[in-house]
Amino acid sequence: MTRRSWVEQVMGLPVSVLARGASARSEAADEAVRAVYAELREVDRIFSPYRDDSEISRLAGGVLAWSDATPLVREVAGRCLRAAELTGGLFDATRPDGNWDPSGLVKGWATERAARLLTAVGGLDWCLNAGGDVVLSCPSGEPFVVGIQDPLDPAAVSTSVRCTTGAVATSGTAARGAHLYDPRTGRPTTSEWLSVTVIGPSLETADVLATAAFVAGSLAIVDHTDQYYGLAVAANSTLLRTVGWPG
């Protein structure tokens, strides 16, 4: 099949699109990809905690009232509450310092939301990868092979999974250090695991479950969620899988 790829730096990380099929080099594919990047840049403008002018920063600083926030901010706040309910509080958008920071949900939500723009291009298999969190669709039925990065070697993969639709999300501390905290203690997460990867229908949900499982040090929360499957990489590089993880 004809293939084409794009990559841009958005939200502080590389975001790539791989397209495959007869329409991969069409103007429609170009327009859809441009729209994907434009939407992700707009999400970053609203939600980035590293920009003083973002709505998240202005809410934290008391400059912006919740009643004046955009509908997207209120939508994400609702999604964060549902994520907390799904995970029994293992996912929490309120930081130990009391500030609201939905970053742990926004990347997966925004990537999945932007991906809908690619589905409008007929005859196109596509894979949207935002810093290792992946959402894809293959109407052709020919799967993409998604590599699960080795947390001890960024140039290597621990394993791979073949997907024709859905999402793959990974959470851990190998790349960014101890940036995750345990909402139960308010302290940085300590784990014998290096990463957790979750696959399933929704990138937003897979990302939340991966974070929650890493914080808990257990794949039970994934195992008990329909249509989602998990894989953990231990410090000794042992791979632990839930029942149903693709062979």
Query: pLDDT tens across 170-190, in order?
Result: 998 765 555 687 888 878 877
Mean of all residue pLDDT scores within the chain: 93
Query: How many folded domains does the chain comprise?
Result: 1
Domain containing 23 — which CATH number? Answer: 3.10.520.10
Question: For residue 128, what are the domain limits?
Answer: 3-241
Asked whether residue 246 is domain-assigned, the answer is: no
Q: What is the mean pLDDT of residues 226-231?
A: 97
Q: What percent of the chain has pLDDT over 90?
A: 82
pLDDT in tens, 89-147: 999 999 888 889 999 999 999 999 999 999 999 999 999 999 999 999 999 999 999 99
Q: What is the pLDDT of residues 63-89, one digit of tens each?
A: 999 999 999 999 999 999 999 999 999
**At a CB cut-off of 8 Å and minimum separation 6, what does 42 contact?**
none
For residue 190, being part of any structural domain is answered with yes
- Residue 111: inside a domain, yes or no? yes
Residue 247 lies in a domain: no
Tell me: pLDDT of 1 over 90.
no
Q: How far is the C-alpha of 73 from the C-alpha of 165, rounded, in Å?
A: 28
Tell which wins on pLDDT, 247 or 134.
134
Q: Please tell me the predicted confidence (pLDDT) of residue 188.
A: 81
Angle at 236 between CA 233 and CA 237, to 5 degrees: 40
Is residue 13 one of the residues assigned to a domain?
yes
Question: Residues with Cβ < 8 Å from 150, sequence gap 6 or more?
Answer: 156, 157, 158, 233, 237
Lowest mean pLDDT among 15-19, 92-96, 120-124, 242-246: 92-96
- Is 19 within the bounds of a domain? yes
- DSSP code, position 245: -
Q: What is the pLDDT of residue 182?
A: 85
Strand partners, 4: 19
Rounded Cα distance between 229 and 151, Å, is 19
User: Lowest-pLDDT range, 39-53, 139-153, 174-188, 221-235?
Assistant: 174-188
Q: Is 85 helix (H, G, I), strand (E, B) or coil?
A: helix
What is the Cα 239 distance to its own chain's centre? 21
